[in-house]
Amino acid sequence: MPSAIRMGVLGCASIALRRVLPAMKEAEGIELTAVASRDPAKAREVAGRFGCGAAGGYGELLDRPDVDAVYIPLPTGLHADWASRALSAGKHVLAEKPLTGDHATALGLVDQARKAGLLLMENYMFLHHSQHETVRKLIADGRIGELRVFSASFGIPPLDAADWRYRPELGGGALLDVGVYPIRAASHFLGAELDVVGSVLRTDPARGVDLAGHALLCTPSGVTVELSFGFEHSYRSCYSLWGDRARLTLERAFTPPPSRRPVVRIESQDRTEELTLPADHQFKNIAESFARSILRGADYAAQAEAIVHQTRLVDMVRSSARGATA
C-alpha cells in the first residue's frame, strides 16, 4: 500500500495558493506532484513555489500516470466538467465547493465515481475543524436543552467588479459561493430530512447573479432553520443553536485561521459562559482526511450522500426563491 496520495492541482486560484496548497505541503499522506494552469508560466511559477512539477494544461495533468488524485479550485461553473474528466481518467477528486450547482448533475457525478470506485469529495473544509465536534457534544450533553432554532450567516463585502463570482456563465452568485456554507452547516447539525419552506434571492439584473439571500428551512420535528448570506455585507461568519434552556453561538464558524482559538458562547437567562477551544487547521485536516480515505480504502458512500443531499437543498432554495432586485 502506498504511503501517500500523489496529488495534482487543476488551476491556480487564490484559495489554492493561500490556503490549500500550503496545507497539502504540511499534510500527512499527500505528495504534491504537479500543478496545471491555463497559463504555462503561471504553472511553472506556482510549481517552483511549492516544490512540485508543472503540467502544460489541465488535460496533460490528467494524463500523468504519477497523479492519483486531483484538487479542483476552478470557478464553480467549471467544477462538474473537470471532475467528470478527472474521474474518467481514473483520478480521485477533491473539488472546491460546490461541486455543482444542480442536483441532477450531482447525481450523475456521484454515479460515475461509484462505478469507477473513486472518491469524490467536496472541499467543505470547515466541517473538519474540531470546534464543531465540541459544539455537537455540548448539544448532546443538554447544555442548551431542546433545540428550537438553528441560524447561520455568511456574508462578505463586495468583491472586485471583475471577479468571476459576478459572472453567471462561471457559476457566480452568492448562493453558490457563500450560501452553501450555512446550508451545509444546517445539515451537519440537523441531518438529512431538512425541507425548504421559502427563500429570497436578491439579484443584480445587470450582472445576472444573486448578490444576497435568505432561506427558511425546517425539520420534520419542527426545528426552524434561518440562513442568511451575501456579497454586499460587512463580514460575518457564524451560527447559533437556540434551545429551550440556552443559546449557543460560534463566531468565525466557517473561516477560522489556523492560529485562532475559537470561543463558544452559551447564554441563558441569568448567565453567560464562554469556552475557549484549541486552535485547529481545517485545511490540513480535510487534506489528510481525503488522503486517509483513499489509502485505507474507506467506504465513499457518506461523501456521495452528502453531495446529493446538499445539491437537493441548494436546488430547493433556488426554485422556491422570491426575487428582489439589487
pLDDT of residue 18: 94
306 within a domain of the structure (yes/no):
no
Span 239-256, average pLDDT: 97
Task: Give 264's strand partners.
Answer: 250, 275
Q: Which cell goes with 166?
A: 459576478
In angstroms, the Cα distances linking 133 to 68, 130, 136, 248 are 30, 5, 5, 14
Same domain, 134 and 231: yes
308 within a domain of the structure (yes/no):
no
Reported as a single tens digit per residue, the pLDDT across 290-319 is: 999 999 999 999 999 999 999 999 999 999
Rounded Cα distance between 227 and 144, Å, is: 20
Same domain, 137 and 237: yes
Same domain, 137 and 265: yes
307 within a domain of the structure (yes/no):
no
pLDDT at 124 exceeding the cut of 90: yes
Reported as a single tens digit per residue, the pLDDT across 196-224 is: 999 999 999 999 999 999 999 999 999 99
Same domain, 85 and 204: no
pLDDT of residue 45: 96
pLDDT at 70 exceeding the cut of 70: yes
Same domain, 51 and 187: no
Same domain, 148 and 190: yes
Reported as a single tens digit per residue, the pLDDT across 154-191 is: 999 999 999 999 999 999 999 999 999 999 999 999 99
pLDDT at 56 exceeding the cut of 90: no
Instruction: Using DSSP bridges, classify how beta strands 236-243 and 147-155 pair: parallel, antiparallel or unpaired.
Output: antiparallel
pLDDT of residue 326: 64
Reported as a single tens digit per residue, the pLDDT across 5-21 is: 999 999 999 999 999 99
CATH code of the domain in which 288 resides = 3.40.50.720
CATH code of the domain in which 200 resides = 3.30.360.10
Please choose, from the candidates 56, 54, 60, 120, the residue with its C-alpha nearest in 3D space to the C-alpha of residue 84. 120
248 within a domain of the structure (yes/no):
yes
Same domain, 39 and 99: yes
Phi and psi dihedrals of 257, rounded to 5?
-65, 155
Q: Which of 91, 97, 115, 284 is catalytic?
A: 97
- Any residues with CB less than 8 A from the CB of 209 and at least 6 apart, and which? 165, 166, 167, 168, 172, 173, 174, 203
Rounded Cα distance between 105 and 226, Å, is: 27
Q: Which domain holds residue 205?
A: 129-280+314-325
Q: Where are the alpha helices (DSSP H) in the chain?
A: 14-15, 21-26, 40-50, 58-63, 76-88, 103-116, 130-140, 174, 180-190, 282-295, 301-319
Same domain, 104 and 201: no
Instruction: Using DSSP bridges, classify how beta strands 236-243 and 247-251 pair: parallel, antiparallel or unpaired.
Output: antiparallel
Q: Report the mean per-residue pLDDT for the chain.
A: 96
Same domain, 255 and 147: yes
Domain tally, the chain:
2
Rounded Cα distance between 297 and 2, Å, is: 12
Same domain, 35 and 81: yes
106 within a domain of the structure (yes/no):
yes
Reply yes or no on whether 97 is catalytic: yes
Same domain, 320 and 179: yes
Same domain, 220 and 249: yes
Q: What is the pTM of this model?
A: 0.96
